[in-house]
Amino acid sequence: IPRPKNSFIIFRTEFARLHRNPRGSRSKTDVKVLGRTVSGKAADAWRELPPEQKQRYQRLAELEKEQHAREHPDYQYRPRRR
């Protein structure tokens, strides 16, 4: 069972959707480079985001957490050992 997304992950998903490569990269290398670039830009944008705008993502994360708790009441995070 995957963990619920936190506020930054929700922001990053939305940010990536808005900043996709218009050419539609296909190679694995392009995807990795693009992914790192988008993630870095998303991190920079997140740091610059005013607290009022971050609250929107924090609320969405809270809603996702509540829904996750309803769907998986016995869920407990158990990290796997590598």
Model-level pTM? 0.78
Q: Please report whether residue 77 resides in a domain.
A: no
pLDDT tens digits, 12-29: 999 988 887 666 555 555
Distances (CA, A) of 34 to 5, 11, 13, 50, 72: 21, 17, 14, 26, 34
Q: Please report whether residue 82 resides in a domain.
A: no
Q: What total number of domains does the chain contain? A: 1
Joined tokens for residue 24:
């539609």
Q: Please report whether residue 81 resides in a domain.
A: no
34 versus 18: the higher-pLDDT residue is: 18
Q: What is the pLDDT of residue 34?
A: 57
Q: Please report whether residue 39 resides in a domain.
A: yes
Element (H, E) at 65: helix 51-71
- Give the residue numbers spanning the domain of 49: 7-20+27-71
